[in-house]
Amino acid sequence: MVQKFRLENGGLINRDKKLSFKFNGKTYYGYEGDTLASALIANGIHLVGRSFKYHRPRGFFGAGVDEPYAIVQLYRNNETEPNIKATEQELFEGLEAKSVNCWPSVNFDIGAINNFLKIFLPAGFYYKTFMWPKSFWYRIYEPFIRKAAGLGVASTKHDKERYEHKYEYCDLLITGSGPSGLASAYAAAKNGARVILAEDKPRFGGSLLTSDVNIGNQSGEDWANSIISELNEMPNVVVKNRSQVFGYYDHNMLVMSEKVSDHLPKTKKHHPKQRLWYIRAKEVLISSGSIERPIVFGNNDTPGVMLSSAAKEYLKVYGVLVGKNPLVFTNNDSGYETAIEFKKNGINPIILDTRVNPQSEIIDEAINQGIKIKFSYVVVAAQGYKKVSSADIAKISDDKKQLGTVENIKCDCICVSGFWTPTIHLASQSGNKTKFKEEIDAFVPGTSKQNERTLGAANGTFTLEETLKSSFTAGQDLSKKITNNDNKISFPNVVEKKSSQHDKFWCVPLPKGKSYKRFLDFQNDVAVSDIEIALKEGYRSIEHVKRYTTLGMATDQGKTSNLNGLQLVSDIENKVVPAVGHTTFRPPYTPISIGAIVGREVGKHSKPIRKSPMHSWHEKNNAVFVDAGVWLRPRYYKQGKENLFEASKREAKNVRMNVGVCDVTTLGKIDIKGPDSAELLNRVYTNAWLKLPVGKARYGVMLREDGIVMDDGTTTRVSENHYHMTTTTAQAANVLSHLEYYLQLVWPELNVNVVSTTEQWAGAAIAGPKSRKLLEKLFPNNDVSNEGLPFMGYLESDLFGVKARIFRISFSGELAYEVNVESNNGNFMWEKIIELGQEFKVQPYGTEALSTLRIEMGHVAGSELDGRTISYDTSLEGLISKKKDFIGKRSLNREAFTSDDRQKIVGVVPLDKKTSIPEGSHLVKDAKAPLPNKKLGHISASCWSVEHDNPFSLAILKDGKNMIGEKLFVMSPLKNKVIPVEIVSSHYVDPKGERVRS
Amino acid sequence: MLYIKCPYCGMRSQNEFSYGGDASVKRPELNKEISDEEWDNFVYNRKSLRGKHLELWHHLAGCRQWIKVERDTATHEIFNTYKADEVIS
Ligand SMILES: [Zn+2]
């Protein structure tokens, strides 16, 4: 198919490389270097979508990031992505795209009936219409709106692409590679500063690519290319295209999204699709340029109405005509540049200039070239439905209030220029309070808040010479401060045409008897009349007007609509624009893909995984693992066809009958050294620690200052001034921070050092009546008898040549020991235990059996120490010293903590001795009581008691101490269960604790 | 993301730190008789002020020192950072 709107020559595209692509199922051709938009326009396609609310036909309005219309669904390498701007998406071989927001097709769209039936949806429509009846919202309104609206569909498949995050530091970050970006980057780089220059487009140069200027006897484009190639050679400079700095955060942290592979048919091997850069910059130079403003007139959303700068860019960069019979509608000289560019390519444009009698070099040039110009003329309305076919135009009075006779002239596009709006988003995000600049009717950055400076058009400077001068100076000055170098750069000779003053005109009045829709926000279909309604209904704050009308709330974030909206509000309110103020700019400047934000933290990489040194042994022996924080722990070791329940029962039984071994490496371990260590422990734990002898362990409970139990564990006195503390797996990090807090801030006078040794020791718990026999085999040279190594005793020993520590402590309630060796010997220890334990029928046991053993013994763990319970609740009050003060003690006399019917831990057994009790269930007195049924307590942990061979649970129950023997009901609405139960002691097995001392 | 100068390690990103609250809170001395109100003020009551605030940060993924940071809670400006035992004038 012929590209009917492609010029014979010109543009920066690669005409040697023809690319085929599909749009809405039809095949077209374009060239390498095209965007999807330029390739479609080259093929004469101007209808690409439907508007959000009225489903009016949508074409192209811009040529880049400001595009409000041309949003497509993209298909690339068997993946699909919504919300892609055709004006930004580079063409690649095989690209496929589809229109969004239209059904069944872009040419015949059912939603557009809204438009023809004139049921225009006024401001606040969604709020007003769909409020009642309330039940209709979920069933009828929302599904309907969602089907009719929508800006594409997100893929539900796993995204196989890779996204990366990168952290970077630099002296100067420069956003935008137009004249100001290039000049400041060059000056700073020459001074040796570390510079990052970021350009969101594929090509560097910004406005230099489309403007008719001369710098140092080169065209703007050539000058830009020479600067870029020089910067590329410098080791202190990073030059990035396709990279949008979209967010400016605290302390000069900026985030940039680099589209590494989006322009290719397929991501290259080992390459990411996108890369997110977190950049901490000493100085930021914002050279983001400006965006052309539309002028508001009737039907100004018709395809074919577009920014004059976009029309020029399609011509100069892509060699594409947006029309062959163009009308240029302008209030300043920029429209003339576009018209002259058309004329150069053999097209005869007509210029309508709102100004009475403007004079400048550019206007003279247009006149000399024989371009037809009508002064004091405006476009009243565009005509044509799916594409502009003509324009109603009229003369306008000098006060811009009265229209003359309306004439109709033929045209196939209307190129609009309503002057320029500086792109101040980043500056505003940095906290810079922007100010209104009267001369350009727009906001510019005010006083810097962070280390940022805005240059060139983004700062409202619209002449090239001034832009280059201020940018060279800024680059030089800022880099000099950082590097102390002072390389002077000679300022190049600049040739540009001088412009005349623009006309402060932005909205064409309606002719008598006509009610054309005049749009402000093109993506969200917000018209002049909507703002008028909102103001009539009493909305005043611009933030409220925005939300009520949805002005500037679409995915383009109002890049082309904001200022005209503000002008309208200020006109109606009789205020000046700065008094109305603008809405807050928030990151991101453009939509960022979720993949880029997430980066590599997906699947297995979403969190670190910690494994014990014995992990591979567990794997080889059919362990089924469970997450314990970031640790992976064996939950049970599967034998044959066993399930979790059967395996854990077998393992727990074997501990009670013979001997079991459990990997307890994950327990938090803290090494405590120093002459005041005992004093620290005495203050941290609720019980007494000053008299613990060397070679003895003690169980301790620590509280938070509010009296709630924080953690428990055993601490062993290794030598005179050396202790080994253990914490629960979950609280290991918190306990260390807690100790550091008190040692560094509260009691710095204590001479103690603490350090985590969790990963330095591998641990194995050997538990069961035969554990001593096994220990004798493991440590034949030690006396491990009840006298030699009594309960809570500690020994340093040697395990066949490997240094080992033996603690006689027990979590299972059986006679038990914990053996620690250095981590790299963990596997050796484990295999020795298994090997020598064979004759005692040793079996490894996992966390499920471990839980069973501790639950039936009534030992508390994380599910009881849940951040809501105090020592009393968990029957640990016996460990509270009356003689000394400790962290949290003063809180314990709080009224609720001392009340007579305070909750307490109890045991729960189902009356039928069969039904398992779901954890988290509530305990109630009467199962049939009306709701809300008063909750007396909750089930904290459940197991199948291997000792009694029936279900057993622990519960935290109100007035627990007086409830033993009571019959209650367990209710789990979630599992739809009601179970009659009896309350028993929490110590269901060996209540006197004789086994651990045996 | 804040950029915090650890007095021991230098400029470090916020994600290496954890926040520790108001640095002016002083724990009552051990074994000292104090009123319920005083204890409540220590455990629960905080000013949550807008503006300059001396606060604690723990350099968790760094030197593990608790440091004091003088920060504006509204603008996030950091005026100064101190070691835990530094006397602040
Ligand atoms: Zn540090």
Do A21 and A113 lie in one domain? The reply is yes
CB contact under 8 Å between B75 and A885, yes or no, is no
Could you tell me the distance, in angstroms and rounded to a whole number, from the CA of residue A673 to the centre of ligand 1? Answer: 22
Q: What is the helix (H) or strand (E) element at residue A275, kind and residue range?
A: strand A274-286
Please name the member of A251, A280, A745 whose beta carbon is closest to the beta carbon of B66: A745
Q: Which two tokens stand for residue A768?
A: 């069961």
Which residues form the domain of B5? 1-24+48-89
Q: Which two tokens stand for residue A418?
A: 């309503």
For chains A and B, what is the number of CB pairs under 8 angstroms?
54
In a domain, B86, yes or no: yes
Phi-psi region of B76 (alpha: psi -120 to 50; beta: other; left: phi over 0): left
CB contact under 8 Å between A744 and B84, yes or no, is yes
Question: For residue A147, what pLDDT is reported?
Answer: 55
Beta strands in A176-242 (DSSP E): 195-198, 214-215, 218-219, 237-240
Strands A950-957 and A904-910: antiparallel
Q: What is the DSSP string of B22-49?
A: ETT--PPPTT----HHHHHHHHT-----
Encode pLDDT of A468-509 as tens digits.
999 999 999 999 999 999 998 899 999 999 999 999 999 999
- Total domains, chain A: 5
CB contact under 8 Å between A741 and B58, yes or no, is yes
In a domain, A804, yes or no: no
Helices (H), A345-497: 361-368, 425-429, 464-483
In a domain, A102, yes or no: yes
- With beta carbons under 8 A apart, name residues in chain B contacting A886: 30
> Mean of the per-residue pLDDT values for chain B?
95
Contact at 8 Å (CB) between A375 and A526?
A: no
Encode pLDDT of A587-641 as tens digits.
999 999 999 999 999 988 888 999 999 999 999 999 999 999 889 999 999 999 9
Side chain identity, residue A654: N
Question: For residue A285, what pLDDT is reported?
Answer: 98
Residue A179 predicted with pLDDT over 70: yes
Q: Is A745 on the interface with B (CB under 8 A)?
A: yes
Do A342 and A479 lie in one domain? The reply is no
Helices (H), A513-669: 528-536, 542-549, 562-573, 577-580, 594-598, 615-620, 644-657
Side chain identity, residue A463: T
Confidence tier at A177 by pLDDT (50, 70, 90) = very high
Tell me, what's the ipTM? 0.98
Question: For residue A687, what pLDDT is reported?
Answer: 98
Residue A343 predicted with pLDDT over 80: yes
Beta bridge partners of A762: A821
Question: For residue A54, what pLDDT is reported?
Answer: 74
Select from A513, A534, A560, A21 the least CA-distant residue to A265: A21
Question: For residue B87, what pLDDT is reported?
Answer: 84
Side chain identity, residue A615: H
Percent pLDDT > 70 in chain A is 95
Question: For residue A118, what pLDDT is reported?
Answer: 46
- A150-154, A299-303, A539-543, range with the lowest pLDDT: A150-154
Residue A103 predicted with pLDDT over 80: no
Residue A132 predicted with pLDDT over 60: no
Q: CATH code at A435?
A: 3.50.50.60
Where does a domain end: A114, A129, A144? Answer: A129
Please name the member of A251, A705, A745 whose beta carbon is closest to the beta carbon of B2: A251
Mean pLDDT value of segment A734-744: 98
Do A50 and A94 lie in one domain? The reply is yes
Q: Which residue has the tokens 């280059």?
A: A468
Could you tell me the distance, in angstroms and rounded to a whole number, from the CA of residue B49 to the centre of ligand 1? Answer: 26
Q: Determine phi and psi for A195, rounding to 5 degrees.
A: -120, 135
- A71-85, A271-285, A778-792, range with the lowest pLDDT: A71-85
CA distance B73 to chain A (A): 12
Residue B47 predicted with pLDDT over 80: yes
Do A85 and A49 lie in one domain? The reply is yes
Question: For residue A111, what pLDDT is reported?
Answer: 59
In a domain, A840, yes or no: no
Mean pLDDT value of segment A912-929: 96
Beta bridge partners of A406: none
Do A382 and A328 lie in one domain? The reply is yes
Do A251 and A319 lie in one domain? The reply is no
Mean pLDDT value of segment A562-578: 85
Mean pLDDT value of segment A780-805: 97
In a domain, B7, yes or no: yes
Which residues form the domain of A955? 899-998
Confidence tier at A119 by pLDDT (50, 70, 90) = very low
3-state secondary structure (DSSP) of residue A165: strand
What is the rounded CA–CA span in Å between residue A820 and residue A612? 13
Which chain B residue is nearest to residue A733, measuring alpha carbons?
Answer: B60
Do A323 and A225 lie in one domain? The reply is no
Q: CATH code at B14?
A: 3.30.2270.10
A526 against A392, higher pLDDT? A392
- Total domains, chain B: 1
CA atoms within 13 A on the CB side of A477: 9
Question: For residue A136, what pLDDT is reported?
Answer: 60
In a domain, A194, yes or no: yes
Q: Is A890 on the interface with B (CB under 8 A)?
A: yes
Contact at 8 Å (CB) between A379 and A404?
A: no
Q: Which two tokens stand for residue A161?
A: 């692409």
Do A925 and A886 lie in one domain? The reply is no
Encode pLDDT of A537-546 as tens digits.
888 888 888 8
Where does a domain end: A495, A525, A560? Answer: A495
In a domain, B35, yes or no: no
Do A734 and A875 lie in one domain? The reply is yes
Question: For residue A150, what pLDDT is reported?
Answer: 56
Q: Which two tokens stand for residue A126?
A: 């969604």
- With beta carbons under 8 A apart, name residues in chain A contacting B88: none
Do A78 and A204 lie in one domain? The reply is no
In a domain, B34, yes or no: no
What is the rounded CA–CA span in Å between residue A774 and residue A449? 70
Do A298 and A410 lie in one domain? The reply is yes
Please name the member of A280, A683, A740 whose beta carbon is closest to the beta carbon of B3: A280
Where does a domain end: A416, A444, A468? Answer: A416
In B34-73, the residues whose Cβ lies within 8 Å of chain A are 34, 39, 42-44, 56, 58, 60, 64-66
Mean pLDDT value of segment A238-246: 98
What is the rounded CA–CA span in Å between residue A269 and residue A77? 13
Encode pLDDT of A53-63 as tens digits.
777 888 999 99
Contact at 8 Å (CB) between A88 and A64?
A: yes
3-state secondary structure (DSSP) of residue A372: strand
In a domain, A211, yes or no: yes
Confidence tier at A341 by pLDDT (50, 70, 90) = very high
Contacts of A725 (CB under 8 A, 6+ apart): A669, A670, A671, A672, A681, A713, A715, A735
Residues less than 5 Å from ion ligand 1, measured at CB: B 6, 8-9, 59, 62-63
The CA distances from residue A457 to A85, A215, A289, A442, A465, in Å, are 24, 17, 5, 11, 12
